C-alpha cells in the first residue's frame, strides 16, 4: 500500500487503533507492539513521532539510535506509555539483557514501537503488528503488512 508523507497522521492513527484492539482481541494483558522494518531513511522514526502525537506525548521523540530505547509518558485511554526502541546498533543477543525487554513487553499500558526488529534476535512477542516500509519516491512510501493491517491503513487514507 502506497502513501505520502502528508498521510502519516492517518497512518499513525490507524496503527494506534489497530494496536489498541490487538491485545483486546487476543485477550492478552501485555504491551502492544509495532515492529517497523525498512532501510535507513525510510521514515520509521518519523512514523513513531506521528504515533507519539496521537498518544499525546508532550516531549520531542528523537531517534533513540545511540541510546537504543526511550520511554515517554502518554495520555491516551489505552496506552499510558510509549516505548521507542531502535535496535539498529544491536549486534549480539547479549546486548539485549540491559534493556529488560521482558518487562517492557509485559507492561499492559505500553505501546512499544521497534525499529529494526530483526536485530532483537527473536525477543519480540508473537502478537505484534509488523510493518515493512520502503521508499517509492521522494515523498512517497510503501507499507507492507498482513492484509488486515493494510486494509485498516488503506481505509485511514481513503483508498478503500
Residue 148 has pLDDT above 90, yes or no: no
Q: Please, which pLDDT band fits residue 3 given cuts at 50, 70 and 90?
A: very high
Mean pLDDT in residue range 124-151: 91
The residue extents of the domains of the chain are 2-156
Q: What is the pLDDT of residues 107-128, one digit of tens each?
A: 999 999 999 999 999 899 988 9
Kindly report the pTM of this predicted structure: 0.92
**Homologous superfamily of 2-156:** P-loop containing nucleotide triphosphate hydrolases (3.40.50.300)
Cβ atoms of 72 and 82 within 8 Å: the answer is yes
Q: Quote the CA–CA distance of 32 and 129 in Å, as a whole number.
A: 8
Q: What is the pLDDT of residues 16-66, one digit of tens each?
A: 999 988 867 666 689 999 999 999 999 999 999 999 999 999 888 988 778
Cβ atoms of 101 and 120 within 8 Å: the answer is yes
Mean pLDDT in residue range 134-152: 90
Amino acid at each position: 500500500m502506497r502513501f505520502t508523507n502528508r498521510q502519516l497522521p492517518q497512518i499513525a492513527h490507524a496503527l494506534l487503533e489497530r494496536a489498541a484492539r490487538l491485545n483486546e482481541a487476543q485477550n492478552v494483558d501485555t504491551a502492544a507492539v509495532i515492529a517497523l522494518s525498512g532501510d535507513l531513511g525510510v521514515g520509521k522514526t518519523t512514523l513513531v513521532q506521528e504515533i507519539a502525537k496521537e498518544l499525546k506525548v508532550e516531549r520531542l521523540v528523537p531517534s533513540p539510535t545511540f541510546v537504543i530505547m526511550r520511554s515517554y509518558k502518554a495520555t491516551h485511554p489505552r496506552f499510558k506509555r510509549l516505548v521507542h526502541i531502535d535496535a539498529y546498533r544491536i549486534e549480539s543477543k547479549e546486548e539485549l539483557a540491559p534493556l529488560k525487554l521482558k518487562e517492557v513487553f509485559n507492561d499492559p499500558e505500553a505501546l512499544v514501537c521497534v525499529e529494526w526488529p530483526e536485530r532483537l534476535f527473536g525477543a519480540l512477542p508473537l502478537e505484534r503488528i509488523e510493518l515493512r516500509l520502503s521508499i517509492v519516491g521522494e515523498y512517497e512510501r510503501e507499507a507492507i503488512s498482513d492484509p488486515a493491517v493494510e486494509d485498516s491503513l488503506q481505509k485511514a487514507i481513503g483508498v478503500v
